A and B are shown apart, each in its own frame.
Chain A
Amino acid sequence: MRKEIYNLLKSSIIFFSCSTFAKDPQVVIVYSAEALGNPAYAQVIAGIEHMNSHVQRIESTGDNNNISSILDATHADRVIALGKGIVENIYRTEYRERTLAGLMYFNPAEYSGVGLALDNRVLVEHLARLLPSVKHFFVVQQSHFQTIDYVPNNLKSSAVIEIREGVDSLDTIRVLGRLLDEATSADAIFIPANLPKNILYEVAKVAWDKKIILLSTNLSHLENGALIAAYPDDFALGEQLGRLVNRPSPVYENIKVIKFALNRRVAQHLAIEFDPIILDSFALKIK
């Protein structure tokens, strides 16, 4: 009997202990109140909440000094900080280790979380499907502003992707200029996401004349001569962040789910025709 009581108590202790340890971590999403106007934020938050039902939202109103005390009050186990300003602020507090960054470009050395840079493997895979005639993709970007993460191994596609980087914006423009000189109509060039509009106009003019395909990771470039713009799926980004919450160690991931937008007028100029199924896969099509 004593043994039975002992076993019962032991089982109860084990049961309660297990239930305590199995409790979901308290996840807090911190973002700027001003950023709510941006629909990307809403999508990302929705994605996070889709993966974690018990998350708490904190809208920062700009007073960043008491961000630590706010987080203390919420007993946050994991923090998802959206936007560069918010991330930088929280990384100055003791929540640094518990924070995942989102909706900003960064590299693994800087922050944990999901960076906005696209995964080249995913990208090439999609592009090979969208533009099967293009065998050579050039990515021109600034070395300190990478919008496409280049992972050389495990490429499933037969298409070649080549990264060309400039040390600063002027150098990047020069790299792009030289590339435009040597590229042919069978090549596609990813122009830098931060390419100024006036330069973009000139680049687009040259590309238009030479019928070179311009691609971009900046959606606004679609209206200025880019054929296809690749951009993150914000909801999927949120889900990605939501999944990372459960990982105990710091981790970096790039965007896995990419959306594509098409400029049909450029496509018409370049005489590129898409199958209806392919065409339907574009999240956005403009004329």
Chain B
Amino acid sequence: MSLLDRYNIQQRFNLLIFISIILASCFLIGFMYKLISNYINDYTSHYWREHTATFADSAIYSVILGSTSQSESVVHSFASDKNVLGATILNSRGELLASYGARSVCELNRPLRTEEPSYADNRDSWCFYSPIYQESYLGYVELVISKAEYDLVMKKLLLGSILIILIFSLFFIVIVRRLSRLFTSTLMEMAMVLNKVSLGERGNRVHFSGSSEINNMRITLNDMLANIETTETELEKSVEERTSALKIALESSETANIYKAQIMSMVSHEMKTPLHAIGGYLQLLAERLPDDPVFTENRALHAKALVRVNDLNTLIDNILLHAQLEADRYDVALTSIAIAPLVHACVENVTPLLNRNRNQLQLIGSDTMFVSDGEVLRHILNNLLSNACKFTTDGLITLTWRLTQAFLIIEVADTGCGIPAEFCDQIFDAWWQVDMSLGRRYGGHGLGLAITKQFVQRLNGDISVEPNHISGTIFTIRIPNSKS
């Protein structure tokens, strides 16, 4: 099959015809040779049978007389033929009257009954026998005929047949080649033009002509090619325009990124520095207020101001962290960590929030070692626990972790207000909250879950959310076990 793939349709057609002609020629030569060989063999043997019968007739007189000299004369006259290897006359008792030339070749194949005409076919000769009758059986004659001339004729015939069939085959092949060119040139030209079109060359058209159908096909194909080229041109123009627009957009994006980086730099440096100063000064002012009930109100205001400063600081930290994750500039550092101490540290961190909404926390899991980035994992747990504490009041928060062969699976389930199912896909978007109104009940900026998701992805894990079967939600994190 792969061999045939190397040839085009015209070559395949020619090859097929060529092989067919060769096979047909071989068959024809064989068949003709066999047929002619049989015919000539029959004809020759018939001719020599008749000749032997004539020999027998000629020998009658000499056999009747029992004359050796007469018999020899007859034998010599019949042996003078160049094809006759030997001639013999024998009487009815099998006694030799006259003989000439070879007899030994026929000794082995001598017929048992010489009263009837017969012949023996040897490799190089025939032995013909014919009885001599004149009212009664008088004897028989034997004629040994060479096959040399017969073989020569057959050889010439075979060579002649081969030559004729060869000439005929060549002539036929030439005709077939011309016909195949005629029949396949249309297809070949179409294939060539389509190939060029597929390579992107333009302006190629087919030029074949012939019957009305062929001409219609040429016109249709050329029209189709023209249409394709027009469409391509339009498409290229459109792509060019789009590409140009995209370039502009990319450039804008790069500019925006530069602005963003500048903003981030400004935020990190120009905003956080004064904020730390404000926080420090507020802390100093609060510490310097006299321990007098008159300043209780001032002390409370200072405390609120500090809380706001801390909130603002946290927001800026989150913005910076989110920007860092978005820009793919956050690297994880994998170390072996004990999960239970990490969980307890996080729980300790959210205890004030837990207590503020009078929630209970249930921890389910055993201590186990896991290779991961501890800081990232801490962020994830803090965020999820903070969210659970924030949206649950007088409820139960359950933190479950388990290590399987493939994953570390952490579940944070709460009995809080829950998330409507239609928003489950959106809660991980940055700056998105279920209640986006200004008068919303719960605070926050919609960055926590976005950052959590990005952290999980940093650890090659995934996060999902589903409603708790009582109320609230269940966040499930699956982080692949690097050991496996």
Contacts and interface: CB of A to CB of B under 8 A. Distances in A.
Nearest to B66: A174
B295 to A, nearest CB: 173
A132 interface: no
B57 A173 contact: no
B136 interface: yes
A196 interface: yes
Interface in B56-92: 57-58, 60-62, 64-67, 70
Interface of A: 168-170, 173-174, 177-178, 196, 198-199, 202-203
Contact of B65 (A168, A177, A196): A177
Contacts of A178: 65
B89 to A, nearest CB: 13
A135 B64 CA distance: 29
Interface of B: 57-58, 60-62, 64-67, 70, 134-136
Nearest to A202: B61
Nearest to B56: A198
Nearest to B74: A202
A202 B54 CA distance: 13
Nearest to A177: B65
B61 A173 contact: yes
A-side interface mostly: helix
Nearest to B67: A177
B63 to A, nearest CB: 10
Contact of A198 (B57, B65, B136): B57
Nearest to A169: B135
Contacts of B60: 198-199, 202
Nearest to A178: B65
Contact of B58 (A168, A169, A202, A203): A202
B224 to A, nearest CB: 92
A196 B64 CA distance: 13
A198 B61 contact: yes
B94 to A, nearest CB: 19
A169 B136 CA distance: 11
Contacts of A203: 61
A168 B60 CA distance: 16
Contacts of A174: 64-66
A196 B70 CA distance: 18
18 contacts: A169-B135, A170-B135, A170-B136, A173-B61, A173-B65, A173-B134, A174-B65, A177-B64, A177-B65, A178-B65, A198-B57, A198-B61, A199-B61, A199-B64, A202-B58, A202-B60, A202-B62, A202-B70
A170 B67 contact: no
Contacts of A170: 64, 134-136
Contacts of B66: 174
Given A174-B66, A177-B61, A202-B61, 16 more contacts: A169-B135, A173-B61, A173-B64, A177-B64, A177-B67, A178-B65, A196-B134, A198-B57, A198-B58, A198-B61, A199-B60, A199-B61, A199-B64, A199-B134, A202-B62, A202-B70
